[in-house]
Amino acid sequence: MHHFDKRDLRGRTAGYFHHALSVRFQDVDAAGIVFFARVLDYVHDAYVALLAELGSDLPSVLRERRWAAPLRHVEVDYFEPLRFGDRITVTAVAAHVAETEIVLGWQILRRDGVAAVAQTVHVFVDARSFERCAVPEPFAPLRAWA
């Protein structure tokens, strides 16, 4: 499995896809900062938006059982707290495309810098058999994001 270095992800200045959102009240914990797992919600929302941008509307893909891409591995490194009302942008900054999986590198940005970085590993499978399959053609542009 390919793995991005968190320092490399944090230091990247060019992003390939941007998804803006706000930290909601229900996303923060008793300490007043984003509950750690919510960052993965933000990344997944950006992933679904990225798929749509690539021409693969995820609800349609799943309904038609064309393929599935379950997560095999996720990790997040946190650098700065996120608080209720913060405007953030989840940015795809790197991708590694293998035969049957993709690794995506993400930055979670506030106006004052990188609050966190994440990486997600998606394994592509036939939606009917759940056997691994080749990365679908709509993901070909990600090969240039290394």
- Taking only the tens of pLDDT, the chain with its 146 residues reads 899 999 999 999 989 999 999 999 999 999 999 999 999 999 999 999 999 999 999 999 989 999 999 999 999 999 999 999 999 999 999 999 999 999 999 999 999 999 999 999 999 999 999 999 999 999 999 999 87
29 is an active site residue = yes
CATH number of 6-145: 3.10.129.10
* Planar angle of CA 114, 141, 113, nearest 5 degrees: 5
- Sheet (strand 71-78) strand order: 17-22, 87-97, 101-110, 113-123, 71-78
User: Which of these is catalytic: 5, 8, 27, 29?
Assistant: 29
Q: Using alpha carbons, list the distances in angstroms from residue 33 to 26, 77, 111.
A: 10, 15, 17
